[in-house]
Structures are given as structure tokens and as C-alpha cells.
Amino acid sequence: MTLRFGVVGTGAIGREHINRITNKLSGGEIVAVTDVNQDSARQAVEKYQLNAVVYQDDKTLIASENVDAILVTSWGPAHEGTVLAAIEAGKYVFCEKPLATTAEGCRRIIETEMKKGKKLVQVGFMRRYDSGYIQLKHAIENNEIGEPLMIHAAHRNPEVDESYTTEMAVVDTLIHEIDVLHWLVSDDYTSVQVVFPKKTKYAHNQLQDPQLFTIKTKSGIVITVEVFVNCKYGYDIQCEVIGEEGIAKLPEYSSIVLRKAEKLSTNILNDWKSRFMEAYDVELQDFIDSITKTGEPKGPTSWDGYVAAVTSDACVKAQLTGEKEFITLQEKPEFYCETTVSEIMK
């Protein structure tokens, strides 16, 4: 069986995913595309030589009988409406982060999915499929460093444009750490506080950059995450878990080491596309394979999207108040208490 995708949003990551489904992965085919910028949708069809229909909007694309799964790669605020319509139509959904821009929006998605009685949605939290994070999780679960006490993480982008706001440091960037770090230590967040260090001269007037988040978990683990989106030198993702018996660190991107002209040097990547290329491949292949084999996606769920939204709401509030803000989740419905991706990747 081939899973027939309809793509909503043919921008940067939409095209990345179109390319991987068409040219790298197996079992999937792009049969429909749409974008508010119809030229972009047409150009994508041409560029990747797709045998795909260009639809006027997400609603008509979702209604097509030829489409089994909707790939949501539009702007964040548009995700909720598309995801809800897709679930109502009984279609599978792979939705890039964020699932919805508010916790209420995620709850609406959860309620609609539960009413349908079947898991249909996977959220694009690809770090859970990154081999480095998976190795870290195994080290923690195999008790190799004892009880985790602290995590120090950094999320650095070389630069951002004028449209990037202080809040986006949370909803667009930190959201990856928000998802992956509680998954890593199988714990829930309880509070967050934000500090703004001295501002880099490379940030535009309205943007606070860098930012430092201190997040606490139920068991008492203290997590610090530096978000620095004009770090200039490259795309750099760091994560170090400090345990009672030792420390486990996310592996560096592997690259040759050069000894030349009295210098020892190696490369640093410059964007998310290359850093997480393999993780994006594995997550989408898993989406296709799980649906084909079991009838349900097995990756990060709508519940995970909700947890991330509640946490990012608290982080944004903490940016505004400067105070410690609390993170309170609803009780997890039984519906979402099944196989996790960490079990799958073992």
C-alpha cells in the first residue's frame, strides 16, 4: 500500500518533506498540494516533478478521495484549523510543530481525535528520532549515569530575520527542547523562569537575544536552556545530562578533523535541515510504516503537542513577568497512554 499525501504549505520544510517522501523514503507519494501562495504550490509540483493536483485550499485538498494523509507544513497559526478538518474527515495527519499555537487549540484537537476513536495525528518533534538523543535516553534508562539531577542545553541558530520575535524564541525554537527534554528523563515540568542576559548587538531592536530558561521537573531535575538565535558561528544543539554517577552528553555532529597550518579544525553545521536530516527521514518513514502496518501513527501524539503548548504558554508568560511561572497539565487520557517512540526505537 502507498500512503497518498496531500501537502498544506509548500515553503521551506514543506519542500524538504516533499523531496524526502518523493526521492528518499519508501511507501509514500505526494498526490496533492496547496499553499496560500498558489505559485509556490505550482512551483513545488514542477520542481519535484510530482504527479500531484494543486488545490485551492486545505479544505478542498482534505476532501479529495485520493488523499490518505495530510502533511501540515503551513505557518503555525494555520495548523489547528487544518488538523481539525483533517481529523473530521478521518484522514491521517503529520503536523509540523506547533500542533496549535495555544493549549486550548491542542485540547480541541485532542477532543476531536478522541471522538473519532482512533489516533490519526503525529507531531513533527523529530528530535525523538535523532540517534544522539536516542543514545542519551538509553544511557539514562540503563542507569549509566544514575539519577539525572540537572540538564544543560543550548539551542543556537546563526541568525534570524526581522520577523522573529522574543516570543518566537519559545514557540518556534525552545519548543524542540520543551518536547525532547521531558521525554528524555520521563518526567513532567512544574515551573519555568526566564533571564535575559546582556543582549547581542546582532539582534534587532525588539528581540531579546540570548535568553536563558530555567525549568524544573516534578522529581526536582533542574534544566537550563540557552536560546541564542544570532550566535553567528553556526547551528549548534547541545545537551548534557548530569547524573549522580556521571554525565551523558549529546554527540557532536561528526565531521573530519583537519590538522593544517598549525591548526586543528572541524566543521560546524549552519542550519536545522542538515543537522536533523536523518531524524526527519526516520520520523516520516516511521509515520508511513506505522500507518501502513498498524493503521495508526506511533510517533509524538496530539497529547505531546498539548504538553508542549502548555509549557510554552508558561515560558512566554515567564518572559513577560520575569517571575517563576507554574506548568500544570490536565490528566493524560488513557487514549494516549500507549506505545511510545522510545519503545519503538529500542
Residues touching ligand ISE, count (CB under 6 A): 5
Contact string 68-107 vs ligand ISE (x = CB under 6 A):
----------------------------------------
Q: How far is the CB of 88 from ligand ISE (least distance, A)?
A: 27
Burial of 244 (0-12, 13-18, 19+ CB in 10 A): exposed
Burial of 308 (0-12, 13-18, 19+ CB in 10 A): buried
Q: How far is the CB of 36 from ligand NAI (least distance, A)?
A: 4
Question: Can residue 129 be called a binding residue for ligand ISE (CB under 6 A)?
Answer: no
Query: Residue 58 binds which one of ligand ISE, ligand NAI, none, with CB within 5 to 8 A depending on kind?
Result: ligand NAI
| Of 68, 80, 113, 172, the one binding ligand ISE by CB under 6 A | 172
* Stretch of 172-180, 202-210, 239-247, 285-293 lying at the interface with ligand ISE (CB under 6 A): 172-180
Pick the closest to residue 126 from 4, 304, 290, 247 (CA basis): 304
Question: Can residue 78 be called a binding residue for ligand NAI (CB under 6 A)?
Answer: yes
Coil, helix or strand for 146? coil
* Stretch of 108-116, 170-178, 285-293, 300-308 lying at the interface with ligand ISE (CB under 6 A): 170-178
Residue with the closest Cβ to ligand NAI? 11
CA 239 to chain centre: 16
Torsion angles phi and psi, residue 201, rounded to 5:
-70, -15
Query: Residue 8 binds which one of ligand NAI, ligand ISE, none, with CB within 5 to 8 A depending on kind?
Result: ligand NAI
Contact string 250-279 vs ligand ISE (x = CB under 6 A):
----------------------x-------
* Stretch of 18-26, 112-120, 134-142, 171-179 lying at the interface with ligand ISE (CB under 6 A): 171-179
* Stretch of 74-82, 106-114, 159-167, 186-194 lying at the interface with ligand NAI (CB under 6 A): 74-82
- What does the block give as the cell for 123? 507531531
Question: Can residue 173 be called a binding residue for ligand ISE (CB under 6 A)?
Answer: yes
Site residues (CB under 6 A) for ligand NAI, limited to 108-127: 124, 126
Nearer to ligand ISE, 127 or 137 (CB): 127
CB within 8 Å of 226: residues ≥ 6 apart: 153, 154, 155, 156, 210, 211, 212, 213
C-beta of residue 41 within 8 angstroms of C-beta of residue 54:
yes
| Of 2, 26, 37, 294, the one binding ligand NAI by CB under 6 A | 37
Question: Can residue 230 be called a binding residue for ligand ISE (CB under 6 A)?
Answer: no
- What does the block give as the cell for 110? 485532542
Q: How far is the CB of 34 from ligand NAI (least distance, A)?
A: 5
Site residues (CB under 6 A) for ligand NAI, limited to 243-282: 272
Question: Can residue 318 be called a binding residue for ligand NAI (CB under 6 A)?
Answer: no
The residue type found at 30 is I
Q: How far is the CB of 230 from ligand NAI (least distance, A)?
A: 17
Question: Can residue 122 be called a binding residue for ligand ISE (CB under 6 A)?
Answer: no
Burial of 18 (0-12, 13-18, 19+ CB in 10 A): buried
Give the DSSP letter of residue 163: T
Task: Name the pairing type of β-strands 3-8 and 28-34.
Answer: parallel
CA gap 337, 149 in Å, rounded: 26
Question: Can residue 157 be called a binding residue for ligand ISE (CB under 6 A)?
Answer: yes
Helices assigned H by DSSP within the chain: 12-23, 38-47, 58-63, 76-88, 103-116, 131-141, 168, 175-185, 272-275, 277-294, 302-321, 341-345
Compute, in degrees rounded to 10, the torsion defined by CA atoms 26, 28, 34, 39.
30
